Chains A and B, each alone.
Chain A
């Protein structure tokens, strides 16, 4: 048994909430710079310049890249030989979110109930996904997610006969319907297979993958490349104001499924796709 203290977890989560919201990850930053060089629309180029300049200002002044500092989505991968001391893992994470969002001057965007909409004032509860694995390590990933892009996400319970072409159409339709709303250039996370909830979680996990990375499954990789090309031919462009840069990446994850199922979940994200990781 390896012991990890709850206080340490709280500290790390707090720091990650802040850093994820202030500093745009390098993979996205580079992808934006490359897109700017290739963008054919002058307005599109101007939008990309503003987006890059914004990331620079946020980094220099230690302020949030975007005002929607999101719901704190947390992926925990915990080794079965880890023992948390001095409190529960869940409480430690929520305390970290509370601390980070308060001390980092991040926006508190959580209401306690979908219908009785009272702000919890500290951005808790976080949305936490747990995965128990072998070993004695604890990995925590934070992916604060804004609502503008989250609201454009969709899940389709398709028929196996719809096949890969049906899945591609569903993904393209979702992006077209989203249009300018999710602050394009987007990052499109897709989960194929599993069941209703697994597909959605896979789609969210796909967003954690760096821009430019690809699935190691041949057919999925081809799907990612073809869809990126198609999405960038829709004309939507940066901020929906026209151009070639509609998405920076299409990341697809897949999993086994039922003989009668073909769920496809599409989690739309924006150019402020945030992700911080720590391993304890």
Chain B
């Protein structure tokens, strides 16, 4: 099914999605990779605050290449998600409702998604120039010293993704692989 999603992305909206749905996302999302996740959670421990409103937020695991003059952003495809598994359950417990990346998630993250009514989307790994054409605005809002790993606030239009893990624990990577396996 093709579904249009807008942000803020509520738990109700998340609960309607099923693994395998093709979505296009419009609205504000935030980038964060390993280093930004680590720092965000360290800062939260100290100040009780995040650099953006985590409630109903979608985090995109990405570190873009530099923008050329005239571009909103450089190439910006997803990075491999399992590196964020150590941090994701905590963020989900604190209100994050969507994650975009590539590759499978660990059990603790999947459990946290079910518990908190959140979903995990896959964007097409390596399709970074195509994905960038859906990013209309980009601004670094925290940790500028991290370069590509800084937190970027993005405004996206019809950002293409697929639901991999839904709020009921379905996992598209597993079900689809089994369907086509002939080994």
Contacts and interface: CB of A to CB of B under 8 A. Distances in A.
Interface residues of B, number: 48
B181 to A, nearest CB: 3
Contacts of B62: 67
Interface in B77-130: 77, 79-80, 82, 102-104, 122, 124-130
Contacts of A161: none
Contact of B126 (A41, A51, A119, A237): A51
Interface in A44-96: 44, 46-47, 50-51, 53-54, 57-58, 61, 63-69
B65 A106 contact: yes
Secondary structure call for the A interface: loop
Interface stretch (A8-16, A128-136, A175-183, A255-263): A175-183
B2 to A, nearest CB: 11
A41 B176 contact: yes
Given A64-B128, A234-B181, A241 B172 contact: yes
Contact of B176 (A151, A235, A272): A235
A214 B160 CA distance: 37
A243 interface: yes
B14 interface: no
Contact of A50 (B104, B160, B180): B160
Contacts of B147: 108, 119, 121
A51 B127 contact: yes
Contacts of B176: 41, 43, 235, 237, 240-243
Given A50-B124, A58-B129, A105-B67, A234 B173 contact: no
A179 B106 CA distance: 13
A244 interface: yes
Interface residues of A, number: 50
Contact of B65 (A43, A64, A180): A64
Interface string A171-208: 00000000111010000000000000000000000000
A270 interface: yes
B182 interface: yes
A66 B173 contact: no
B181 A233 contact: yes
8 contacts: A41-B179, A67-B63, A68-B79, A107-B74, A180-B173, A235-B183, A236-B177, A271-B126
Given A108-B147, A240-B122, 17 more contacts: A41-B179, A43-B176, A54-B129, A58-B75, A63-B71, A63-B74, A64-B75, A66-B77, A67-B62, A67-B63, A67-B128, A69-B65, A180-B173, A183-B102, A235-B176, A237-B177, A239-B122
